[in-house]
Amino acid sequence: MLPGMRRFALALVSLCAVIAAGPLAQGASPLQYRFTFPEPQHRWMQVDATFPDLPPAALELRMSRSSPGRYSLHEFAKNVYDVHAFGSDGAELETTRPDPYGWNVPRHGAAVTVKYKVYGDRIDGTYLAIDETHAHVNMPAAIMWAHGLDNRPSTLTFEQPAGMHWTVATQLHPGTNALEFTAPNLQYLMDSPLEFGPVAMREFSVGSSKFRFAAHHTGSDADLDGYVKDVEKIVRQEGAVYGEYPSYEPGYYTFLGDYLPYAGGDGMEHRNSTVMTEAATIAKDRERLLDIAAHEFFHCWNVERIRPQGLEPFDFERANMTDSLWLAEGFTQYYGPLMLQRANLVDLAETAGTIAGLVNTVELSPAHEFRSAVDMSRMAPFIDGGRGNDRTNWPRTVISYYPFGGAIALALDLTLRERSDGRVTLDDFMRAMWRTYGKPGGGREGYVDHPYSLADAEARLADVSGDARFAHEFFARYIEGHEVADYRGLLTAAGLVVKKANPGRAWLGSVFDQRDRGHVASLVLPTWPIYAAGVEQDDDLREVDGQRVASAQELESVLRRHKPGDRVPIVFVERSGDSKSATVTLAEDPRLDVVPVERGGTLTAGQKAFRDRWLGPQEMK
C-alpha cells in the first residue's frame, strides 16, 4: 500500500491547490471565520466572523436550529454568549434581537465583524465539544451565518491552543496552510464537521478513489491499522453495490472517528465524510464500530447524493421533512450489516440475528396499523434527537424508520431475487437510483439537483424489475400501506428459518425487565394479553395465579407452570392506589428467531446458491 499512498499524497497537493482556488476566484469576497481557544479546559471557543462586501440592508446573523442529517430542531443559539459586532474601523455596532436565534446589525458599513463565545461539551455528530484533548466541531453548533449570503465562499482559520500541536481533519477544502480551510458556500460549510486534535491519519485507495481515516482514540497504532484494513474491506463491498464511488469534491472521503471514554454514541453522514463517536475502543468494540462505519459510508451514495425531496436544500431555520427515510435510512440500515457479511467480517449466525431483529421489530409492533413507512418518515423531526417533557405513546404507534425501512429492504431484496431467479437484486435498484438521481450531481458544490420523490423511487423499481404493476403493488402495500411482508416465506429461499424463540412458553406481555420489581415501567402494548386486563404504565403488578410477583424471575417461574391458552387471575394496583383483579388469557411468547436451516435440517443446493449470491463477497462490476 505504501507506494500508492505516496502517490496519493503527491496527487493531493496539486488537486487541493486547484480546488482551493476555485470557490475564491468567483469575485465575491469570502466570509472569514477565525477560531481561537483561550481556555479549552473550560470548554468554550472564541469565534470572530467577518462578513465583507455587504449591501446596506440590516445584517441578519443567525445561529442554526437544525443540523444536516439530524432531523429534529436544536437551539444552537443557547450556548452562544458575549456577542459583539464591529465595523471595519473597529467601532462597536448596535445589535438587536429579532428572535431567540438571531442578532441583527441594523446599521453598518461595507463589512461587519461579529465576535462571540460559544460553549460546547457534547462529542457527537451534531454538537460542539471543546476540551484540552480536542475541538470537535459540527458547524451548525458553532458558526453564525447571515441571511442572503448562502452562496458566498468562506475561509476558516484555526489557532493552536497554547502548547498544543493539533491537526485538523475535515471534508473542507485545504487553504494556504495546515490550519486554513475553505468552503464554497453555506450548504457545504454546514455539512462539514471538523476534528482539531491529536488526529491519527490512515489512507487507502480503491482504484482511483481515495479514502482517509482520521482517528482520535485511546488505542494503539496497531489497533488502528487493523481496524482501517477492515474498513477498507467494507468500502470495497459497498463500491461493488454501486459499481463506482462518487467523485468526492475535496479529492477524498474522510472517516472521522472519535473513540473516547467521554464521547457520546453517534454516527452522522456528510457528503464527503462521516463523524463517528463512541465511548468505545477499537480493541474491545471493533465489530460495533465497523457496523457504524458500514452504515455511514453507505450514506455517501444513499442520502448524500441519492437525496430524497424534502431534504434538499437543508433548511437551517426549520425542520426538513421527507417521505423517504425508510429508504434513505432504512435501506442503509439493511446494507450496513449485509456489507459486514459480504466482507466476511461477521458470520452467518450474526447476520441471521440481525435479520431476526428486523423481523421482530415489524411483526411484534402494532404500530404499522396506524402509520405507514411514509408516515414514520414524517415523524423524524420529533424522533431523531428531539426530546419533549411530555410522554408519547410511540411504542404503540411508531416503528423507527431504521428497522422498519431495513425490514422493507430485506423483503424487497429477497422478492426481487426470487422473482428473477437471482438476476435482479436490490443492488440493481440502488444502482438505478444512483445513476438517475445521485450521479448527475449538482450545479453548485454540496447541492443535489435531482432529489427523488416517492413516485420516482417506484418508477426505478418498475425499471429494474421490468414490472410496473409489481412496483406499484409493493409500494402500495408495504411502503404507503400497512401490510407486513411474509418474511417466513421469503427467507426460506435462502435457507433461513423463522421460528418462535421460545416455543410453547406462556406469556402475558413483556411487562417488566430485570430491574422493575413488579412496577410496570413502560407502555403496555395492545398485542400483550395483559393489555385487555387494563394494566398500564406506572401500575404495580402484584399477583399472578395467586402468587406474589415482585420480579421478572418470579413472574417467569409462575408462567412456566402454565401453557398458552390458560386463564390466570391477576391482581394489580393502579397508580391512583386502587387495587384491581382481572383474568388474563396467556398467549405463546411471540418473539422470533431466524436460524440457518442446516441447524437440524438440510440446506438444498438451490438455497445454498441463493444464499451465496446474496451474502457472498461481490466484485466491482
Is the CB of 178 or the CB of 476 nearer to Zn ion?
A: 178
Report the site for Zn ion in 332-361 (rule: CB under 5 A): 332
Tell me which amino acid residue 44 is.
Answer: W
131 binds Zn ion (CB under 5 A): no
Cell numbers that stand for 559 in this block? 408462567
- For residue 58, the minimal CB distance to Zn ion (Å) is 38
- For residue 295, the minimal CB distance to Zn ion (Å) is 6
User: Given candidates 65, 74, 134, 212, which one binds Zn ion under the rule CB under 5 A?
Assistant: 134
- For residue 134, the minimal CB distance to Zn ion (Å) is 4
Is the CB of 112 or the CB of 276 nearer to Zn ion?
A: 276
- For residue 332, the minimal CB distance to Zn ion (Å) is 5
- For residue 7, the minimal CB distance to Zn ion (Å) is 29
Q: Which stretch binds Zn ion (CB under 5 A): 146-154, 211-219, 572-580, 596-604?
A: 211-219
Burial class (CB in 10 A: 0-12, 13-18, 19+), 442: middle
202 binds Zn ion (CB under 5 A): no
- For residue 428, the minimal CB distance to Zn ion (Å) is 22
Per-residue contact track with Zn ion, 231 to 270, x per CB under 5 A? ---------------------------x------------
Report the site for Zn ion in 304-333 (rule: CB under 5 A): 329, 332
216 binds Zn ion (CB under 5 A): yes
- For residue 230, the minimal CB distance to Zn ion (Å) is 20
Cell numbers that stand for 156 in this block? 476558516
For the CA atoms of 76, 79, 83, 85, what is the dihedral angle to 10 degrees?
Answer: -20
Is the CB of 101 or the CB of 335 nearer to Zn ion?
A: 335
Is the CB of 136 or the CB of 173 nearer to Zn ion?
A: 136
Q: What is the DSSP letter of 280?
A: -
To which residue does cell 440493481 refer?
428
Beta bridge partners of 34: 48, 157
User: Given candidates 102, 197, 337, 385, which one binds Zn ion under the rule CB under 5 A?
Assistant: 197
- For residue 69, the minimal CB distance to Zn ion (Å) is 7
Contact in structure between 282 and 200 (CB atoms under 8 Å): no
Per-residue contact track with Zn ion, 361 to 400, x per CB under 5 A? ----------------------------------------
Contact in structure between 161 and 240 (CB atoms under 8 Å): no
**DSSP track, 1-49:** -HHHHHHHHHHHHHHHHHHHHHHHTTSSPPEEEEEE-S-GGGTEEEEEE
Cα(191)–Cα(171) distance, integer angstroms: 9
Assess whether the previous peptide bond of 313 is cis (omega < 30° from 0): yes
Radius of gyration from C-alpha coordinates of the chain: 27
Residue 545, Ramachandran bin (φ over 0: left; ψ between -120 and 50: alpha; else beta): left
Is the CB of 153 or the CB of 336 nearer to Zn ion?
A: 336
136 binds Zn ion (CB under 5 A): yes
Cα(250)–Cα(170) distance, integer angstroms: 10
Is the CB of 179 or the CB of 523 nearer to Zn ion?
A: 179
Tell me which amino acid residue 483 is.
Answer: E
Q: What is the DSSP letter of 145?
A: E
- Strands, DSSP E only, in 574-615? 579-585, 587-588, 592-596
- For residue 339, the minimal CB distance to Zn ion (Å) is 13
Contact in structure between 235 and 206 (CB atoms under 8 Å): yes
Is the CB of 258 or the CB of 363 nearer to Zn ion?
A: 258
Is the CB of 139 or the CB of 586 nearer to Zn ion?
A: 139
417 binds Zn ion (CB under 5 A): no
Binding site for Zn ion (CB under 5 A): 134, 136, 197, 216, 258, 329, 332
